[in-house]
Amino acid sequence: MNRAIALALALVAAAIVQVPRAEAQEVTLRLHQMLPPQAAIPAKALTPWIEKVESQSGGRIQVEHYPSMQLGGAPPALYDQAKDGVVDLIWTVLGYTPGRFPKSEAFELPFMVTTGEATSRAFHEYVLAHAMDEFKDVHPIVLHTHGPGLLHVRGQGVRSLADMAGLKIRTPTRVAAGMLSAFGATPIGMPVPAVPESLSKGVIDGVAIPWEVTLPLKIAELVRTHTGFSGRHGLYTSTFIFAMNRDSYDALPADLKQVIDDNSGPQVAALFGKAMDDVDVTGREVAEKAGNTIITLDEAETARWQEVARKTTANWIAEMDGKGIDGAMLVEDARQRIEKYSGQ
Over residues 299-320, the pLDDT tens digits come to 999 999 999 999 999 999 999 9
Cα–Cα distance measured from residue 336 to residue 330, given in angstroms and rounded to the nearest whole number: 10
Q: Which fold has domain 150-236+282-342?
A: D-Maltodextrin-Binding Protein; domain 2 (3.40.190)
pLDDT of residue 16: 43
Over the stretch 257-266, which tens digit does the pLDDT of each residue have?
999 999 999 9
> Domain residues of the chain, as ranges?
26-147+237-278, 150-236+282-342
Cα–Cα distance measured from residue 171 to residue 192, given in angstroms and rounded to the nearest whole number: 9
pLDDT of residue 21: 42
pLDDT exceeds 50 at position 14? no
Which architecture does CATH list for 26-147+237-278? Answer: 3-Layer(aba) Sandwich (3.40)
Cα–Cα distance measured from residue 108 to residue 235, given in angstroms and rounded to the nearest whole number: 9
Angle, in degrees to the nearest 10, between helices 327-342 and 299-322 = 140
Domain 26-147+237-278 shares a fold with domain 150-236+282-342: yes
pTM: 0.91
Please provide the average confidence, as pLDDT, over all residues in the chain.
Answer: 93
